[in-house]
Amino acid sequence: MVFFTKDIGIDLGTANTLIFMKGKGIIMREPSVVAVDVRSDSVKFVGQEAKDVIGRTPGSIVAVRPLKDGVIADFDITTSMLQLFIKKALGSSIFVRPRVVICIPSGVTEVERRAVKEATQKAGAKYVSIIEEPMAAAIGAGLPVAEATGSMVVDIGGGT
């Protein structure tokens, strides 16, 4: 059996999470929402599926947004959400532990930065690299980030 690795980029946003795969572009765009059964403390649905069941489930199932202002507000639920998103993105590649580049808002604390890295590793990433959102946006837009020239990036995300 041959084990391969995949490279993915994750924009972990307060409102939505996007997953980019090298060679394929953006392969997932899901709401950053998790439906949790409060009786069993278990995750029932994530992403669009969780958003779609809001108001259509028993009272014991509640919708949770595990990120607040671009940072992790609930570590365990964020980890579960990331784990399911990564699994969905990789499809049948069940033995693959991807290398992940994940975006964080600029100005987060070292503790918040470490929480994102740990949640991503716990979700199944083999290697995690963190990049600040404005830098990722500049690179993605093809701006000359390595040159001594001025550029401006405006981030109008859902939570930051």
Quick one: tokens of 49?
């599926």
Q: In the chain, where are the structural domains located?
A: 7-140
From the list 22, 1, 20, 2, the residue with the least C-alpha distance to 10 is 20
- Tens-binned pLDDT, residue by residue, of the chain (160 aa): 445 678 999 999 999 999 999 889 999 999 999 999 999 989 999 999 999 988 888 888 999 999 998 889 999 999 999 999 999 998 876 677 899 999 999 889 999 999 999 999 999 999 999 999 989 989 888 999 899 988 888 877 776 5
From the list 91, 113, 94, the residue with the least C-alpha distance to 103 is 113
CA 46 to chain centre: 12
**In angstroms, rounded to a whole number, what is the distance separating the alpha carbons of residues 38 and 41?**
5
Q: What per-residue confidence (pLDDT) applies to 1?
A: 44
Q: What per-residue confidence (pLDDT) applies to 91?
A: 83
Contacts of 40 (CB under 8 A, 6+ apart): none
b/e per residue, 95-106, with b = 16+ CB within 10 A? ebbbbbbbbbbe
Contacts of 135 (CB under 8 A, 6+ apart): 145
- Give this prediction's pTM: 0.88
For domain 7-140, say whether CATH 3.30.420.40 is its number: yes
For the chain, the residue count is: 160
3 state SS of 156: coil
Quick one: tokens of 15?
């409102």
**36 pairs with which residues across the strands?**
43, 62
